[in-house]
Structure 1
Amino acid sequence: MKETLSYYDYQAYRGRPKIVWPNGARLAFWVAPNIEFYELNPPANPKRQPWPHPYPAVPGYSIRDYGNRVGHMRQMRLLDKYGIRGSISLSAALCQHHPEIIELCRERDWEFFSHGIYNTRYTYGMSEEEERAMILDSMETIEQAVGTKPLGYLAPALSHSEVTLDLFAELGGLYTCDLFHDDQPTPLRVRSGRQFVSVPYSLEMNDTIAYVVNKVEPRHYGQMLKDCFDRLYQEGAESGTVMCIPTHNYQVSCPHRMRAFEEALEYITGHSDVWVTTGREIARYYADQYWMDPCSNSAAAASTEITHDR
């Protein structure tokens, strides 16, 4: 039987080492715009069909094109207004198809991390060598376009294999957004033994999950964001938490949805003790300040602990 590596161990809130963010902030807040490229007629994958109806899938493709034509500009202006640098979950093909978007974000010192090459090409069915080549291609394409190697990864369309995290770590990555198991960063155990971190990325606050899957109305989504923040800000007084809003420029940036999103951003950034940052900066700070080898028992021996009462 093939031995399977466990990426992390169970560790409840109670008894964890205390996290203090820069300048004593309670909460690290980041926004992760998914800037993606979809193909109108992608190669077939037997595990998943990208479009719900036969080619040409004009409705699905064109709303995503709307996002890159209109929605991105709208969201970018809004993030500028509140001093938020986006952490882009980037389909690397966008570097070729829409270099003007890349340049606008690079000028603003936004972070770019890998979301594969196309969001219509999945990890399902790939060999390890094929997946490694895809991840490396996406990383090299982004680095060539922006001058900085991406340190984070979110699998295209959340499609994974048993070795996705191992491969990204081996290629020089620092963090993943593909695990949705915590509200604080987690040290991960990868086969190379490299330092590797899970940075919280919330599916519950993801605008596509809210609008498409859960059928939430815009005002309700805005209130959800505020409620999520309130809880994490409260708990962050005891040990630092992370809040991420993953967005899509063809979802949250539609005209009838923007006001609720803006009100949530105004509310969150209006609080003191909030570190408005990027995924890369969260991962690097945690790795530098709080890293504990997940293969050791150092976590159990930590002297400064939190004792959340429930």
Structure 2
Amino acid sequence: MKRDPGFYDYLPYDKRPVIRWPNGARVAFWVAPNIEFYELDPPRNPSRAAWARPAPDVLNYSYRDYGNRAGFWRMLETMKRCNMRGSVSLNVAMCEHHPEVIAACAKEGWEFYSHGTYNTRYLMNMTEEQERAVIQDSIDTIRKHTGQKLDGWLAPALTYTDRTMDLVAEMGLTYVCDLFHDDQPGPVKVKQGKLTSIPYSLEMNDVIVYNVNLVSPRRYADILKRQFDRLYAEGERSGTVMCIPLHPYLVGQPYRLAAFEEALSYITGHEKVWLATGREIAQYFNENYHDAFAAAAQAVGEAP
């Protein structure tokens, strides 16, 4: 029986190589809008139903469609006012369904990384051939529609197989957001290639905050600022990472925008904050710290 997933070794928070971000930044800060498309009646997956209600679940479909029609555009303008680029967690089918959204992100110099094809098509139960095809489609579609090389991966609806990490590394990607185990980047153990885990927070994710924890917008702003304050203080010793994962159908609701902008303005207004993309953080870590972290770590269960 496996004791742990086997994706990373253990490295205590206070016994690691010291990270120094560019220009002496304490925090590498990135914002990850999930730009998604949900099918009304997707192919059935034997492990998970796409919708809570019988098809056609128009209620939940239209709730999420709000994000692409209205919420995204409000979120975009808010981020522009704070001079914050996004790193788009992209369901790549969006490139065909709503190319206007993709063009608006590209115009602002945002990064695109893959969140699968649709958020209603899961990796669970896929064969290796099928999973490779999904990853290759993401590589090809993002290059075709944006000209960018695909570097990052966040599995659709956070669904995986045992081979997902190995495949994305083998196929040339450099970072994943699917591991929620740290506030600094870290090496991911794969069969070939160099892969890094970039912190992507469930705690700061607006889905968890609004739909699970039922937090008010004002409280969300306070949570984001408190998260930043702690990571900023710790980052004086060794650089940390803060991510705000967003969903336009949630953060883009009219009554929630002011709180988000308040927090974003607060964070981006500090000195010694690197306003980065996921790709930039991963590239810097891979070039400067990946090997040192891997050498310093110990396998789970080993005596120190």
TM-score by length of 1: 0.93
Task: Mark the runs of 5 or more structure 1 residues left unpaired by the alignment.
Answer: 302-310
1:267 counterpart residue number = 266
8 Å CA contact retained: 2:117, 2:134: yes
Deviation digits for residues 278-307 of structure 1 (CA, Å, limit 9, x no counterpart):
00000001111112177x6x3269xxxxxx
Q: What is the CA RMSD across the aligned residues, in angstroms?
A: 1.8
Q: How does 1:91-240 map to 2 (within 5 A)?
A: 91-192=91-192, 194-240=193-239
Deviation digits for residues 116-152 of structure 1 (CA, Å, limit 9, x no counterpart):
0000000111111111111111221111111111100
CA distance in 2, matches of 1:222, 1:116: 29
Deviation at 1:28, TM superposition (A): 0.4
CA distance in 1, matches of 2:118, 2:277: 23
8 Å CA contact retained: 1:5, 1:191: no
CA distance in 2, matches of 1:132, 1:247: 27
2:285 counterpart residue number = 286
Percent identity of the aligned residues?
A: 57
Deviation at 1:266, TM superposition (A): 1.0
Deviation digits for residues 218-258 of structure 1 (CA, Å, limit 9, x no counterpart):
11111110110011001000000000000000001101111
8 Å CA contact retained: 2:11, 2:297: no
8 Å CA contact retained: 2:187, 2:197: yes
2:78 counterpart residue number = 78
Deviation digits for residues 196-239 of structure 1 (CA, Å, limit 9, x no counterpart):
10000000000001111111111111111011001100100000
1:8 counterpart residue number = 8
Deviation at 1:6, TM superposition (A): 2.3
SS at match of 1:168: helix
Question: Which stretch has the larger CA shift, 171-180 or 49-58?
Answer: 49-58
SS at match of 1:261: helix
Deviation at 1:5, TM superposition (A): 7.8
Matched letter for residue 14 of structure 1:
D
CA distance in 2, matches of 1:85, 1:300: 33
SS at match of 1:250: helix
Deviation at 1:107, TM superposition (A): 1.0
CA distance in 2, matches of 1:195, 1:47: 31
SS at match of 2:291: coil
Q: How does 1:41-56 map to 2 (within 5 A)?
A: 41-56=41-56
Question: Which stretch has the larger CA shift, 279-288 or 214-223?
Answer: 214-223
Deviation digits for residues 4-32 of structure 1 (CA, Å, limit 9, x no counterpart):
98221111112100001100000000000
CA distance in 2, matches of 1:112, 1:202: 18
